[in-house]
Amino acid sequence: MNDPTNDWKRVLDSHRLPEPVYVTKPTMPDLGRYTQELESLWKTGWLTNQGCMHQDLERRLEQHLGVENLSLFCNGTIALLVALQSLRINGGEVITTPFTFAATPHVLHWNGVTPVFADIDPHTFNLDPARIEQRIGSNTRAILAVHVYGTPCDVDALQTIADRHGLAVVYDAAHAFGVRYKGQSILRYGNASVLSFHATKLYTTIEGGAVVASSQQHKERVDFLKNFGIADEETVIGPGINGKLNEFQAAFGLLQLETVDQEIAQRAALARLYRERLETLPGLKLLPHNKEVTPNHSYFPILIDEAQFGISRDALYQALRDCNIVTRKYFHPLCSHYPCYAALPSARPENLPVAERVAQRILCLPIYGSLPPETVGAVCDVIGAIHRAAVAS
Ligand SMILES: Cc1ncc(COP(=O)(O)O)c(C=O)c1O
């Protein structure tokens, strides 16, 4: 008799990749060009505080993204914190999603706001507008929505709800660099949008981020707040913070900007390959296409239905790891499960059934510009082989 454990072991052994493949990897700029860019810093000694490269990068990012009033930051988390402060969202309650990175609810907490979690849409994994209105109360100040994986939220529905109740809308657009919706930048919606340029992101300044403000006056307020509230040498107009991006990061960002479109195009080709190979596998669900969206392919999430696929998400995660393929369970656990939020009434699992289900089933596969198409093929081979072995055992 054949021992199924041996079959399983054979599948993993025969598909193991020689080197680990991670979920993402930054595309590095040419080192010679980067050192050249830095030479000017040795001449001027101007290392931070809105230097020439910082100013240049703000302008170029605005042009590239098709937005105005962009303010650079040292990271996306401080950018979020300041975006909320700039809109005076510093108390009461804000409705947000549990299916996001830790920074989203944490910036609310740091601003003295109680996060109120609302459930997500089963197809886009973004805040479900139908669930938001049920959570609005007399203390609600704003909606903090996330374009998860770069998929646009239902921005029109969110704005209608916000207008009806007099709420601000802030978008955590950490994943949405370059995404367009109905022909314009997704960053143009709401009262502010916030980007992250962390090393794991499609476009990176190593650490970094930006606020896209809604007017020039709003950008000025954001700029004061990110620079200790300093207006001039002798005037501090409010309790700001230090959120500045330095010149080394700006130089990195300027070079990254030259290659980011190519990075997106390479990812698009890899995403197509994944789709061709995985779309027909039983028990796997991929993100839907939306004709109104120009995506950036920052992530390639799959949803695993254990009953049809043959094994659970966690088992697939482990099997892939055994084959040297390092996937990530973004976003498991849900933020509503963190000990600091779990006691909130809105965090109860029965209030968030879709998010609970998605967090148990989601897996993000490797995707980045320099990932060879053959490796994507190999990842799909492993997933297919695991599925066949699982349903046969
Ligand atoms: C959805 C989301 N929000 C906020 C952040 C925080 O950005 P940063 O790491 O630049 O502080 C990240 C990523 O890191 C993120 O994925």
Reported confidence tier of residue 10, pLDDT bands at 50, 70, 90:
confident
* Ligand 1 close to Cβ of residue 104 (< 6 A): yes
- Cα–Cα distance for residue pair 83/172, rounded to 1 Å: 10
Q: What is the mean pLDDT of residues 309-336?
A: 97
- Considering only CA atoms, which residue is closest to atom 8 of ligand 1? 76
* Ligand 1 close to Cβ of residue 75 (< 6 A): yes
- Cα–Cα distance for residue pair 163/173, rounded to 1 Å: 21
Both 331 and 229 in a single domain? no
% of the chain with per-residue pLDDT over 90: 95
More confident residue, 5 or 380: 380
The pLDDT score that the predictor gives to residue 8 is 76
pLDDT digits (tens, 9 = 90+) for 53-86: 999 999 999 999 999 999 999 999 999 999 999 9
CATH of the domain at 384: 3.90.1150.10
pLDDT digits (tens, 9 = 90+) for 161-207: 999 999 999 999 999 999 999 999 999 999 999 999 999 999 999 99
Both 248 and 292 in a single domain? no
Q: What is the mean pLDDT of residues 283-311?
A: 97
Q: Give distance in angstroms: CA of 200 to centre of ligand 1.
A: 9
Q: Is the pLDDT of residue 45 over 90?
A: yes
Q: H helices of the chain, where?
A: 4-15, 31-44, 52-65, 76-86, 103-110, 129-132, 155-165, 216-226, 247-278, 306-309, 313-322, 353-361, 373-392
Domain that holds residue 302: 4-26+259-392
Q: What is the mean pLDDT of residues 195-223?
A: 98
The pLDDT score that the predictor gives to residue 12 is 84
pLDDT digits (tens, 9 = 90+) for 88-127: 999 999 999 999 999 999 999 999 999 999 999 999 999 9
Distances (CA, A) of 137 to 94, 95, 140, 201, 246: 10, 10, 5, 35, 41
* Ligand 1 close to Cβ of residue 243 (< 6 A): no
Q: What is the pTM of this model?
A: 0.97
Q: Is the pLDDT of residue 258 over 80?
A: yes
Both 109 and 88 in a single domain? yes
Both 223 and 328 in a single domain? no
Lowest model confidence (mean pLDDT) among 30-39, 194-203, 363-372, 384-393: 384-393
pLDDT digits (tens, 9 = 90+) for 124-158: 999 999 999 999 999 999 999 999 999 999 999 99
The pLDDT score that the predictor gives to residue 14 is 86
Residue that is last in its domain, among 237, 255, 273: 255
Residue that is last in its domain, among 255, 271, 289: 255
Domain count, the chain: 2
CATH of the domain at 84: 3.40.640.10
Both 382 and 295 in a single domain? yes
The pLDDT score that the predictor gives to residue 3 is 65
The pLDDT score that the predictor gives to residue 44 is 94
Both 139 and 189 in a single domain? yes
Both 87 and 197 in a single domain? yes
* Ligand 1 close to Cβ of residue 310 (< 6 A): no
CA dihedral 196, 127, 96, 344 (to 10 degrees): -130
Both 349 and 221 in a single domain? no
The pLDDT score that the predictor gives to residue 2 is 58
Q: Give distance in angstroms: CA of 208 to centre of ligand 1.
A: 10
Both 380 and 277 in a single domain? yes
Atom of ligand 1 nearest to the CA of 208: 10
Both 97 and 63 in a single domain? yes
* Ligand 1 close to Cβ of residue 205 (< 6 A): no
Q: Which helix (H) or strand (E) holds 114?
A: strand 114-117
The pLDDT score that the predictor gives to residue 4 is 62
Both 185 and 251 in a single domain? yes
Residue that is last in its domain, among 255, 272, 291: 255
Both 384 and 273 in a single domain? yes
* Ligand 1 close to Cβ of residue 172 (< 6 A): yes
Q: What is the mean pLDDT of residues 30-54?
A: 96
Given the DSSP bridges, would you call strands 293-294 and 300-304 parallel, antiparallel or unpaired? unpaired
Given the DSSP bridges, would you call strands 180-181 and 184-185 parallel, antiparallel or unpaired? antiparallel
The pLDDT score that the predictor gives to residue 7 is 74
Distances (CA, A) of 267 to 135, 238, 392: 37, 43, 33
